[in-house]
Amino acid sequence: MTEKATKSSALPAEVENFLRSLQSERNFSAHTSTAYRKDLKKFVQFLGRRPNWKAIDHPRIRAFLSHLHESGLNKASIARTLAAIRAFYKWMGREGLIEQNPAALVSTPKLSKCLPRVPTIEEMNGTLDSPMPESAAFPERDLVIFELLYGCGIRNSELTGMRLDDIHWSEGQIGIRGKGKKERIVPLGDSAASAIREYLPKRRQALTLNKKSSDVLLINLRGGPLTSRSVGRIVKAIAHAKGLSSDVHPHTLRHAFGTHMLSEGADLRAIQELLGHARLSTTQRYTQLSPSQVLEVYDRTHPKAK
């Protein structure tokens, strides 16, 4: 029997309470909360106006995922939707609203193992060392964006949430507030420190001109805090202007950070700490060597390759 979508845009109280708990209890990013809301809204629309959560079994959830696949949604988006449903059911279990979690019986769609291409070390050095393009609206700030994303391997959300007092100049470190309220320390390299020092006077000028004050490191030309979406647009535009691929985005620079450190001999667990990954398997996925690098290591180290 075909499921009917609800006409109401309102979500059930259980879903709304779960979404509120994401930020108050688990410190999820606004981006994740928005994505979970969209995913769960689709789930509710598939189930009907007033879902009976106790009556929903794992075949019903699988049917929903099949519906998403038939609608043209890619595997990565379907996997994220399943993650939202699993998190929601875990929350309902903790709240005593259900006795069993049917989402735990649904396997995650197998994702493609191919990794997105990252710029080479030479390309990144050329990007950072060359002058900012004339199209850059705030060149000193935009250089800081590239230096911190690539030089420290931080997430876009961590970058936009960074405050002035997170920079520990005397220790040469930056305090980062990551996912799930986890904090970590990353080194502040000389290039990033130099870029920040050149940016700070321009930042003060922008705040004075707009009669504003702020403790956020990165601001826009109007003196307000820079958003993650704006960072994405800036990175894409400047990368394209400097000859990089048009699909470069903030996470590409974070991925390049890990990939380049591994290719230069860094310990995998050290990279895990710097990236703020909870599991080593996540770090391994982000820092796989390219085929050419694997061959180079073989030629350099294996006795039979001599």
In this predicted model, what pLDDT tens digit does every residue of 197-219 receive, in sequence order?
A: 999 999 999 999 999 999 999 99
- 152 located within any domain: yes
d(CA 97, CA 112): 36
> Exposed, middle or buried by CB within 10 Å (0-12, 13-18, 19+), for 25?
exposed
Same domain, yes or no: 243 and 191: yes
> For the chain, how long is the longest CA-to-CA vector?
69
pLDDT of residue 6: 38
What mean pLDDT comes out for the span 189-194? 94
**Is the residue at 230 inside a domain?**
yes
How much is the pLDDT for 27?
62
Strands 183-187 and 173-177: antiparallel
Q: At 120, phi and psi to the nearest 5?
A: -75, 170
Pick the last residue of a domain from 77, 105, 133. 105
- Tell me: the pLDDT tens digits for 28-44? 677 788 889 999 999 99
Domain count, the chain: 2
Residues 24 and 146 in one domain: no
Task: Please list the alpha-helical segments (H only) found in 95-178.
Answer: 121-129, 139-152, 156-160
Q: What pLDDT, on a 0 to 100 scale, did the predictor assign at position 37?
A: 92
DSSP 216: B
- pLDDT tens string 57-74: 999 999 999 999 888 888
Q: What is the mean pLDDT of the chain?
A: 86
**Residue 4 confidence (pLDDT):** 42
Classify residue 112: in a domain, yes or no.
no
Structure tokens at 28: 């999820």
Q: Determine the structural domain holding residue 20 and report its residue range.
A: 13-105
Would the pLDDT of 241 be above 60? yes
Mean pLDDT of 95-105: 90
| In a domain? residue 203 | yes
d(CA 15, CA 21): 10
Q: What is the pLDDT of residue 3?
A: 42
- Report, as an integer, the average pLDDT of 4-22: 75
What band does 186 get if pLDDT is binned at 50, 70 and 90? very high
Catalytic residue flag (residue 179): yes
Same domain membership, residue 177 and residue 273 = yes
- Residue that has been written with the tokens 């290591």 in this structure: 297
Output the DSSP codes for 156-173: HHHHHT-BGGGEETTTTE
Q: Over range 245-264, report the average pLDDT.
A: 88
Q: Is residue 174 within a helix (H) or strand (E), and if so which, with residue range?
A: strand 173-177
Stretch 273-299: mean pLDDT: 70
Same domain, 69 and 154: no
My answer on whether 256 and 135 are in the same domain is: yes
Residues 53 and 171 placed together within one structural domain of the fold: no
Q: Scanning the structure block, which residue is given the tokens 């006409």?
A: 7
Query: Average pLDDT, stretch 247-257?
Result: 91
Residues 157 and 230 in one domain: yes
In a domain, 53, yes or no: yes
Whole-number Cα distances in Å, 10 to 50, 87, 173 = 11, 20, 45
CATH of residue 88's domain is 1.10.150.130
Of the residues 43, 75, 105, which one is the last residue of a structural domain? 105
Q: Is the dihedral of CA 38, 44, 49, 54 positive or negative?
A: negative
Same domain, yes or no: 157 and 188: yes
Same domain assignment for residues 130 and 265 = yes
Beta bridge partners of 225: 219
Residue 264's SS3 state is coil
What share of the chain in percent tops pLDDT 70? 86
Query: Which residue reads 């080194």 in tokens?
Result: 187
Tell me, yes or no, if 155 is annotated catalytic.
Answer: yes
CB of 277 within 8 A of CB of 288?
A: no
Q: Is 251 a catalytic residue?
A: yes
The dihedral sign for the CA sequence 16, 17, 18, 19: positive
Q: Which residue has the higher pLDDT, 289 or 43?
A: 43
Confidence of residue 56 (pLDDT cuts 50, 70, 90): very high
96 and 142 inside one domain: no
Q: 125 and 89 share a domain?
A: no
141 is catalytic: no
Q: Would you state the pLDDT for residue 93?
A: 92
Please tell me which residue in 80, 141, 203, 277 is annotated as part of the active site.
Answer: 277
pTM of this structure: 0.64
- Among 153, 106, 186, 181, smallest CA distance to 255 is for 153
- Averaged pLDDT for residues 149-164: 94
- Kindly state whether residues 151 and 260 are assigned to the same domain: yes
| Residue 168 counted as domain residue | yes
Convert the pLDDT of each residue in 103-115 to its tens digit: 889 888 776 555 5
- 225: CATH: 1.10.443.10
Which listed residue (42, 254, 255, 260) is catalytic? 254
Burial class (CB in 10 A: 0-12, 13-18, 19+), 71: exposed
Catalytic residue among 155, 203, 236, 255: 155
Tokens of 151: 């030089």
Question: Does residue 288 have a pLDDT over 90?
Answer: no
Residue 273 located in a structural domain: yes
Question: Does residue 298 lie within any of the structural domains?
Answer: no
Q: Which of 163, 177, 251, 285 is catalytic?
A: 251
